[in-house]
Amino acid sequence: MTNIARFNMVEQQIRPWNVQSPVLLKAISALDRSMFVPQAQQSLSYVDCPIQLDESTRMLEPKVVGRLVQALSIQPGDHVLLVGAGSGYTAAVCAGLASTVVSQDTSQSALDRAGKNCAAADRSNVGFQKVEKLHGVTDGVQYDAILLREGIAELPDTCLGKLADKGRCVALLGSDYAMEMICYTREGDEIRQESIIEILTPLENSAAGSAPVKASFVF
């Protein structure tokens, strides 16, 4: 049943969101998403909805993860920075494509949760780092790809400062429920910006009392 549910997730949720990279779809198909879902919510493992991990953090919908990771164009030798640990699922998907992945978070419990899940999924090329600020100043390390898994109002310059030449940074930018997925690419001293897709989806830090909006998208 799990294999069928995983197949349906890829074919009915992820592909229709214009996620067509064969390598990425293979990486997603090979990963058991239920390993990253809390035990009490196992029935939602392959459902097209966000999954609450704690009072402030959700797992993103599979289609959103697919579109975010596809926009990064991860190559086998790439070093990837993931901002926000979540359940570890996004890190594990990236780890199936990249050389190394570093997952940063301000919460040690979130890092422990993601680390445990990635270890269970045999993703040994993922490292976890506790930071004081998610978008803090660069420590001199540069990355080929940076993914912000939590929506923010505006991309901090510090994120772009961590990009290597030809590096890509993908983020969901906006406020409340209206988000825009944007990819930034460093070309020497220049930063090129490309809008990927507009999404209506709950922010993980949305204000209390905001009306729920069904996920949708506009090309």
- Bridge partners for 215 per DSSP: none
Domains of the chain, residue spans: 2-218
- Between β-strands 216-218 and 190-200, what pairing exists: parallel, antiparallel or unpaired? antiparallel
The answer for residues whose C-beta is within 8 angstroms of residue 119's C-beta and 6 or more apart is none
The answer for residues whose C-beta is within 8 angstroms of residue 155's C-beta and 6 or more apart is 148, 169, 171, 173, 182, 184
Of the pLDDT bands very low, low, confident and very high (cuts 50, 70, 90), residue 128 is very high
Contact 102, 88 (CB under 8 A): no
CB atoms within 10 A of CB 22: 7
pLDDT at position 212 is: 34
CA-CA-CA-CA torsion sign (145, 155, 215, 33): positive
CB atoms within 10 A of CB 90: 25
> What residue type is 157 in one-letter code?
D
> Under CATH, which number does the domain 2-218 receive?
3.40.50.150
Using alpha carbons, select from 146, 150, 173, 172 the residue that is nearest to residue 158: 146
Which DSSP symbol is given to 121?
Answer: T
pLDDT digits (tens, 9 = 90+) for 59-106: 999 999 999 999 999 999 999 999 999 999 999 999 999 999 999 999
Q: Which two tokens stand for residue 135?
A: 């978008």
The answer for residues whose C-beta is within 8 angstroms of residue 183's C-beta and 6 or more apart is 71, 72, 168, 169, 170, 193, 194, 196
pLDDT digits (tens, 9 = 90+) for 168-194: 999 999 876 788 999 999 999 999 999
pLDDT digits (tens, 9 = 90+) for 133-162: 888 777 788 999 999 988 888 898 899 999
Long-range contacts of 212-218 (CB under 8 A, 24+ apart): 213/177, 215/48, 215/49, 215/61, 215/64, 217/17
Q: Average pLDDT in the 39-45 region?
A: 95
0.85 surpassed by pTM: yes
Q: In what order do the strands lie in the sheet with 178-187?
A: 126-130, 100-105, 79-83, 143-148, 163-175, 178-187, 190-200, 216-218
pLDDT digits (tens, 9 = 90+) for 195-211: 998 887 554 443 333 33
pLDDT at position 178 is: 81
Residue 118 pLDDT exceeds 90 = yes
